[in-house]
Amino acid sequence: MRNIVDKFRECGNEQLLLCERGKHLRLRQPGGDMLGFGVMKRTCDDLP
């Protein structure tokens, strides 16, 4: 994620919003890794 954020900032875009890609646990039951949000926030300078 850090590399992606850096590329956007190099182009002058500071309005970024990160999201977790999610996954499916079973048919029609989406899931997500909530622990990933904290890691992304710390890694990418507290972006929302």
The residue-averaged pLDDT of 42-48 equals: 79
Q: Is the pLDDT of residue 48 over 80?
A: no
Please check whether residue 24 lies inside any domain of the structure.
yes
Amino acid identity of residue 14, one-letter, is E
In a domain, 48, yes or no: no
What is the separation, in whole angstroms, between the first and last Cα of the chain? 13
Q: Considering the domain boundaries, does residue 25 fall inside one?
A: yes
Question: Is 13 contained in some domain?
Answer: yes
pLDDT tens across 1-44, in order?
A: 789 889 999 999 888 888 777 666 666 766 666 777 788 888 88
> Does residue 37 form part of some domain?
yes
CB 28 within 8 A of CB 20: no
**26 contacts 32 by C-beta, under 8 angstroms:** no
More confident call, 48 vs 13: 13
Domain count, the chain: 1
Residue 20 lies in a domain: yes
| Domain with 22 in it | 2-43
